[in-house]
Amino acid sequence: MRIESGKKYDFSDVLIRPKRSYLPSRKKVTLEREYKFMHSKHVWQGIPIMAANMDGVGTLKMAKSLEEHLLFTCLVKNYQYKDLKEHSLNPEYFSISTGIGQQDLKRLEENLSKYPEIKFITIDVANGYSEAFGDFVENIRGKYPDKTIIAGNVVTSDMTQELILRGADIVKVGIGPGSVCTTRIQTGVGYPQLSAIMECADAAHGLGAHIIADGGCTSPGDVAKAFGAGADFVMLGGMLAGHDEGGGDIITETYTSSRVDNESKEPIYETKQFVEFYGMSSDTAMDKHHGGMANYRSSEGRTVKIPYRGKVESMVLNILGGLRSTCTYVGARRLKDLSKCTSFITVSKQYNDVFEK
């Protein structure tokens, strides 16, 4: 046993220091990026924000809506090539997802043979540190040399490099920071997300590969911090959940408010709308996709009710507006320059919450 004593940072430990700049307006900021992926050699252009492959987020409707803004969607595992074809998605802006089981491999191979236009494959496991996972990535790289492979999740530079050398173009980074994740509570395992991004980005960029900061963003400011820390892509679950495109049922609940009707003196009732959102390792997901939780496992995800938020477009515009503004605060003309222009300062308070209590 040993302890590493160097401080590691989360989004909530830092702010971005403003700097003098010549940038006249946030309108002048370019958020589009162009990447050439290391193994597939594919050249991609777009705004590098991704919807997570989670129920209620990584849906076909979400992909259709996000591609209009040049944003990317990692689709949930259970789609078949027929569903993909029906929605005529632009292959530049979506990835299919797979686990590493025999059934997963069969479905992946079938989807790729029936729909060869698919360009991105996300190989996704909760714990990217197993040898079997590395073997699977290597096997898929060998079979599909021109597909862009996203693989994760890991949080350290050694495993980022291992996955890249095994064939991943993009490594997904994050263990335990997610909004509906209980891994840190259930296992005690994790890594503060800002430090994980910085260290894994450094490791990947040295080899010519890319990383995704996956999980833990709760506001446009966190997305900006993730890019500032060196992420090439930022993946969002909770921030894109609760919208029409996620397809969940809208739950309407009636509350007795603290206000009283002046004439009848009866309490005034209010209704609020919610959507259920859950982690992909939660009991809810296990019931839905695997017919229940196997008894040697325990849930590492929670199920929550979040306010229904209408169309996703308003959230997208809010995130992109925030990012452009960050860029103007630090003098970055392009999102590409944001990490170069970022100096983080460590803080003990993020913002003034006096009216939130």
CB of 124 to ligand 5GP, least distance (A): 8
Q: Does 246 contact ligand 5GP by CB under 6 A?
A: no
Q: Does 341 contact ligand 5GP by CB under 6 A?
A: no
**Which candidate in 181, 200, 217, 327 is catalytic?**
181
- Among 16, 29, 52, 151, the residue binding ligand 5GP under the rule CB under 6 A is 52
Binding positions for ligand 5GP, 95-134, rule CB under 6 A: 126
- Among 151, 153, 187, 188, CA closest to 167: 151
Kindly report the three-state secondary structure assignment for every residue of 171-214: EEECCCCCCCECHHHHHCCCCCHHHHHHHHHHHHHHHCCEEEEE
Q: Which is nearer to ligand 5GP, 239 or 332 (CB)?
A: 239
From 130-138, 275-283, 309-317, 337-345, give the range in contact with ligand 5GP by CB under 6 A. Answer: 275-283
Q: How far apart are CA 51 and CA 67, in angstroms?
A: 11
Q: Does 174 contact ligand 5GP by CB under 6 A?
A: yes
Q: Check: CB of residue 59 under 8 Å from CB of residue 282.
A: no
Q: Does 228 contact ligand 5GP by CB under 6 A?
A: no
Token couple for 297: 């496992």
- Among 216, 220, 242, 248, the residue binding ligand 5GP under the rule CB under 6 A is 216
Q: Check: CB of residue 241 under 8 Å from CB of residue 343.
A: no
Active site annotation includes 148: no
Q: Does 48 contact ligand 5GP by CB under 6 A?
A: no
Q: Does 160 contact ligand 5GP by CB under 6 A?
A: no
Q: In what order do the strands lie in the sheet with 303-307?
A: 250-260, 267-278, 303-307
- Among 65, 73, 98, 281, the residue binding ligand 5GP under the rule CB under 6 A is 281
Active site annotation includes 327: no
Q: How far apart are CA 185 and CA 331, in angstroms?
A: 39
Token couple for 267: 């309490």
CA angle 232, 8, 237 (to 5 degrees): 45
Q: Does 300 contact ligand 5GP by CB under 6 A?
A: yes
Q: Does 238 contact ligand 5GP by CB under 6 A?
A: yes
- Phi first, then psi, for residue 244 (nearest 5°) are -55, -40
CB of 152 to ligand 5GP, least distance (A): 7
Active site residues per annotation: 181, 183
Where does this chain bind ligand 5GP (CB under 6 A)? 52, 54, 126, 153, 174, 178-181, 183, 214-217, 235-239, 279-282, 300-301
